[in-house]
């Protein structure tokens, strides 16, 4: 059984949010953390505990080519980035 905090479900949440974003737009990792917290029924600030899992899932998805991680508007190496980042769907190019 898949739970809302399992990697498979978190991957799906992130991929869905990126896919639903307008073309060329990115999402904030907190959006994914909040969606995951909502799926679990966590309290108002429960999303904070999901941020590390979102980052791990984003790295995994980026390595698989299913999303792109951006920092300061530029694509970054998913295995070597720091600080504030955003997530986006890979381009169709």
- Domain at 7-88, CATH class: mainly alpha
Residue 8 confidence (pLDDT)? 63
Residue 9 confidence (pLDDT)? 87
Domain ranges of the chain: 7-88
Residue 91 confidence (pLDDT)? 78
Residue 11 confidence (pLDDT)? 94
Q: What is the pLDDT along the chain (93 residues), one digit of tens a residue?
A: 445 455 568 999 999 999 999 888 999 999 999 999 998 888 889 999 999 999 999 999 999 999 999 999 999 999 999 999 999 998 755
Q: What is the 3-state secondary structure (H, E, C) of 6-54?
A: CHHHHHHHHHHHHHHCCCCCCECHHHHHHHHHHHHCCCCCHHHHHHHHH
The H-or-E segment that residue 68 falls in is: strand 68-71
Identify the bridge partners of residue 75 per DSSP, sorted by sequence position: 70
Residues written for the chain: 93
pTM: 0.85
């Amino acid at each position: 059984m898949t739970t809302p905090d399992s990697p498979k479900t978190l991957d799906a949440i992130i991929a869905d949010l990126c896919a639903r974003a307008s073309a060329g737009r990115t999402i904030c990792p907190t959006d994914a953390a909040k969606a995951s917290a909502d799926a679990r029924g966590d309290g108002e600030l429960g999303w904070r505990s999901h941020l590390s899992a979102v980052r791990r899932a984003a790295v995994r998805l980026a390595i698989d080519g299913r999303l792109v991680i951006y920092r300061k508007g530029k694509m970054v190496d998913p295995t070597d980035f720091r600080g504030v980042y955003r997530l986006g769907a890979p381009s169709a190019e």
